[in-house]
Amino acid sequence: MERSPNIRPGSGPRWLALVPLLIAAAHTEHPVVFSAAHKADVGNDPSAALINHSIMLINRLQELLQNGNASDATLRIRTASSNEVKIIQTHQLLLTLQSDVFEGLLANRSVLTLQEPAECAVLFEKFIRYFYCGEISIQLSQAIPLHRLASKYHVSSLQKGVTEYMKTHLASESSQGHVVSWYHYALMMKDEVLQESCLKFLAWNLSTVMSSGEWVTVSNDLMVSLLQRSDLVLQSELELFRAVEEWVSKNSPNDTVVEKVLRSIRYPMIPPNQLFQIQKQSFLLATYRSFIQDLLFQAFQFHSTSPLHFAKYFDVNCSMFIPRNYLSSSWGSQWIINNPARDDRSLSFQTQLGPSNHDSSKKINWNALFSPRWLPVSLRPVYSESVSNPSQSNRMEDGRPRLVVTSAMSGLDFAGVTFQKTVLVGVKRQQGKVFVKHVYNVHQSTDEVPDFLAHADLQKRTSEYLIDNSLHFHIVIKPIYHSLIKAK
Ligand SMILES: *[C@@H]1O[C@H](CO)[C@@H](O)[C@H](O)[C@H]1NC(C)=O
Ligand SMILES: *[C@@H]1O[C@H](CO)[C@@H](O)[C@H](O)[C@H]1NC(C)=O
Ligand SMILES: *[C@@H]1O[C@H](CO)[C@@H](O)[C@H](O)[C@H]1NC(C)=O
Ligand SMILES: *[C@@H]1O[C@H](CO)[C@@H](O)[C@H](O)[C@H]1NC(C)=O
Ligand SMILES: *[C@@H]1O[C@H](CO)[C@@H](O)[C@H](O)[C@H]1NC(C)=O
Ligand SMILES: *[C@@H]1O[C@H](CO)[C@@H](O)[C@H](O)[C@H]1NC(C)=O
C-alpha cells in the first residue's frame, strides 16, 4: 500500500483514526466517487430506479450561457480586420473546468479581450457553448478554425475530436477540396498523424486530386514530398508530368523548386513516343530543358535496350526506375467481384513485360485467384474418426480472404528482376474519378500481408469494402530491376 507523507505508522491515535477510511478505499478499489456509489445503489435493489435529468441539466447550463445569469467572466472577442467586438458573458467555473489557458487568463481578471482571426471569431460562441454542453456541430470548412481554437485554449478533448473528424472526412465531397489545406495546417501544428493521413489520401487518390481545384494550392514542400513517393496511384507518369506542368505554370515557383520537381518525374516510365512529344511541345521544357537534359537522355537509352543489358553499362542508382501504381491497362487490370463472399473466382489478364520500349512487343499472361475464406493447410478441418473438437467443422468459416497472382509462364522472375504485385482495394470510378482505400504490395500472394482485407466483413452488404455489393480490386504488376535501383 502506498503511504502518503502525512500518514506515518506509529505516530499515534491520529494515524489510527484513518484506518477504517483506508480499508474502505481499498475495498472499492477506486476513490469513492458519486457515480460508483449510485451504480451500486441501483444495481442491488430491485425496486430502485434511475431518475435521469441530465438533458435538463445541460439545457439549464445552456440557458445560463444564453442569458448570462450570474456571469463572472466577460469575453470580448476582437479581430484585426474590424472594429466590431463580440461580447460573451460566461462563467469561470465552466471555462476553467476544461481549459488551463482560461484558468490562467482568468486568475486575476474577469474581463478578457481576446484577439482572434476572423474565421475563428465567427465560431467563438459555438466554441464557448461546447464548455457548457460538451457538444458541437462541425462542417468541413470549420474544422481548421475550430481546431485552432481548441489548440490555443488547450481544450484537448475538442482538439482530439476535431482531428478525428478530419481523419474520417478526408474523402468527403467538397467543391474546392479540403485535404491540401488540412495537410498544410497539420504541418504547421506538427500533427504527424493527421499529416500522414492527408499524405496517404493525396497519394492514393492522386488522379482525383490532380483534376481538382486544390491541386494548384499544393505548396512547394508538399509537391516535392508527393513526387518522391512510389505509392502514388494515377493513370500514368505522363499524367503526372502534365499535372506538374500545370502546377508550375499557376504557381511560378523559383528555379530551385522547378528543378527539384522536374527531376522527380520518372521519365523511363514514359514510352519514348510520348517523351518525344513532351520534348517537342512542353512549354515547361522549352524554358527548363537544361534541368533534365541528362534524365531525358538516360530515359531514351533505357528504352533502346533491355533493362538488364542497360544496367550492365550504366551506373544508375535511383528511384527513376521504380514504377508507381499506374492504372493504365499495360500495367495491370481492374477486377470487380460481385458477391465476393460467395465462392472462389479467377481472372486472367495480360501486361507488358516491362516499361522498356525494347520489350514493348513482349506480353505476360497472369492468373489471379481470389478466395473469400482461405485457410492454410495446417488449419483445415481434418475428417477422421478421432474428431473430438466439434468447433473444427466450422473452421472453414474462419478463413480469411486471399488473392494470389501467378504468371502463366513459370519461373518468370529471372536474375535481378522481380515482379511486384500491388493490389489496390476499393478502386472506384465515378465520372472517371479513381478512389483507393488500401494498397497492398506482395510478391505473389496476399498471405504475405497479415492485414489483407482484415475487418472487411465481406458477408455483410453494408461492408464499406463493397460498392454495389461488389469488391473493387485493381492489380498492378511492377517489374523491379534490382540492378537499376541499388539503393537500400
Ligand atoms: C441519462 O439520459 C441521457 C439522455 O437520455 C443518456 O444519454 C444517459 O446515458 C442517461 N444516463 C444513464 C446513467 O443512464
Ligand atoms: C436568467 O435571467 C433572466 C432575466 O435576466 C431570467 O428571466 C431567468 O429566469 C434567469 N434564469 C435563471 C436560470 O436564473
Ligand atoms: C494579471 O497577471 C498577468 C501576469 O500574471 C499580468 O500580465 C496582468 O497585467 C495582470 N492583470 C491584471 C488586471 O492585474
Ligand atoms: C481515397 O478516396 C476514397 C473515397 O473518396 C476514400 O474512401 C479513401 O479512404 C481514400 N484513400 C485514402 C488513402 O485516404
Ligand atoms: C526557392 O524557394 C524555396 C522555398 O519556396 C526557398 O527555400 C529557396 O531558398 C528558394 N531558392 C532561391 C534560389 O530563391
Ligand atoms: C545507392 O544510393 C544509396 C543512397 O542513395 C546508397 O546508400 C547506396 O550505397 C548506393 N548504392 C550503390 C551501389 O551505389
**CATH number of the domain within which 73 lies:** 3.30.710.10
Ligand 1 centroid distance, CA of 134 (Å): 14
pLDDT (0 to 100) of residue 348: 94
Are 354 and 460 found together in one domain? Answer: yes
Question: What contacts 328, CB < 8 A, 6 or more positions away?
Answer: 235, 236
Helix (H/G/I), strand (E/B), else coil: 36: helix
Q: Which domain holds residue 88?
A: 14-41+49-139
pLDDT (0 to 100) of residue 142: 95
pLDDT (0 to 100) of residue 394: 47
In a domain, 486, yes or no: no
Are 108 and 185 found together in one domain? Answer: no
Are 255 and 338 found together in one domain? Answer: no
Residue 380 in contact with ligand 3 by CB distance below 6 A: no
Are 348 and 468 found together in one domain? Answer: yes
Reading the block at residue 346, the C-alpha cell is 479467377
pLDDT (0 to 100) of residue 317: 64
Residue 204 in contact with ligand 4 by CB distance below 6 A: yes
pLDDT (0 to 100) of residue 428: 56
Yes or no: say if 205 and 229 are a contact pair by the CB < 8 Å rule.
no
Are 76 and 133 found together in one domain? Answer: yes
pLDDT (0 to 100) of residue 177: 80
pLDDT (0 to 100) of residue 382: 64
The closest-lying atom of ligand 3 relative to the alpha carbon of residue 107 is 1
Are 243 and 337 found together in one domain? Answer: no
In a domain, 488, yes or no: no
Are 325 and 456 found together in one domain? Answer: yes
Residue 486 in contact with ligand 6 by CB distance below 6 A: yes
Q: For ligand 3, atom 10, which residue shows the shortest CA distance? A: 108
Are 225 and 120 found together in one domain? Answer: no
Q: For ligand 5, atom 13, which residue shows the shortest CA distance? A: 256
Ligand 4 centroid distance, CA of 430 (Å): 13
pLDDT (0 to 100) of residue 110: 92
pLDDT (0 to 100) of residue 62: 93
Please report the DSSP string for 175-197 in residue order: SS-SHHHHHHHHHHHT-HHHHHH
Pocket test residue of 69, 71, 89, 91 for ligand 2, highest count of atoms within 8 A of CB:
69
Pocket test residue of 232, 435, 463 for ligand 4, highest count of atoms within 8 A of CB:
435
In a domain, 4, yes or no: no
Are 102 and 194 found together in one domain? Answer: no
Ligand 5 centroid distance, CA of 258 (Å): 10
Question: Whose grid coordinates read 465515378?
Answer: 430
The domain spanning residue 356 has which CATH number?
2.60.210
Q: For ligand 2, atom 2, which residue shows the shortest CA distance? A: 69
Ligand 2 centroid distance, CA of 129 (Å): 18
Are 346 and 435 found together in one domain? Answer: yes
Q: Which residues line ligand 2 (CB under 6 A)?
A: 63, 67, 69
In a domain, 144, yes or no: no
In a domain, 315, yes or no: no
In total, how many domains does the chain have?
3
Nearest ligand for residue 39 CA: 1
Examine the fold and report which residue of 82, 110, 139 is the final residue of a domain before the chain moves on: 139
Residue 315 in contact with ligand 6 by CB distance below 6 A: no
Q: For ligand 6, atom 10, which residue shows the shortest CA distance? A: 487
Q: In degrees rounded to 5, what are phi and psi of residue 57?
A: -60, -40
Question: Whose grid coordinates read 435521469?
Answer: 52
Examine the fold and report which residue of 107, 124, 139 is the final residue of a domain before the chain moves on: 139
Are 332 and 432 found together in one domain? Answer: yes
> Distances from the Cα of 72 to the Cαs of 35, 69, 152, in angstroms?
29, 9, 22
Residue 111 in contact with ligand 3 by CB distance below 6 A: no
pLDDT (0 to 100) of residue 119: 94
The domain spanning residue 291 has which CATH number?
1.25.40.420
Ligand 1 centroid distance, CA of 50 (Å): 9
Are 364 and 300 found together in one domain? Answer: no
Yes or no: say if 266 and 321 are a contact pair by the CB < 8 Å rule.
yes
In a domain, 173, yes or no: no
Examine the fold and report which residue of 108, 139, 170 is the final residue of a domain before the chain moves on: 139
Ligand 2 centroid distance, CA of 57 (Å): 15
pLDDT (0 to 100) of residue 381: 66
Nearest ligand for residue 169 CA: 4
In a domain, 380, yes or no: no
Reading the block at residue 78, the C-alpha cell is 476582437
Ligand 4 centroid distance, CA of 276 (Å): 34
Residue type, 150: A
Q: Which residues of the chain have pLDDT under 50?
A: 1-33, 392-394, 487-488
pLDDT (0 to 100) of residue 217: 94
Ligand 1 centroid distance, CA of 63 (Å): 20
In a domain, 358, yes or no: yes
pLDDT (0 to 100) of residue 165: 94
Model confidence, pTM: 0.76
pLDDT (0 to 100) of residue 2: 44
